Structure 1
Amino acid sequence: MTELAESGIPVTVTCRVLKLSRQPYYRWLANPITPSEMVEAYRANALFDAHQDDP
């Protein structure tokens, strides 16, 4: 989104097209995901994928 805003497309328009709220975007922008949170998310996703086909 930052690249779009730099090219002149307002964040409001981008959020509307993507059906996102502006508030969570600005919250994320002020406090981005830490590397440890990213590792945790990858692990959770791997577990989910591994057990997705389980009955």
Structure 2
Amino acid sequence: MSLGPYANFIVTSYLLVAAVVAMLIAWIAVDYRRQKQQLHELEAGGVLRRSGRSATDLK
């Protein structure tokens, strides 16, 4: 497969996009864990959800 004279630009662009997508996935995973931990702390402190379900019911 020949990308022509723009091969360097094309490969660099794809690598940058892959890096950004990987960082977004990592950020979402870390934020999910943080939010889940905060929810457990609130429930342990006596704060209840309006739906009446606990965090363990969401699995």
TM range (shorter): 0.3 to 0.5
Q: Which has the larger radius of gyration?
A: 2
| TM-score, structure 2 normalization | 0.36
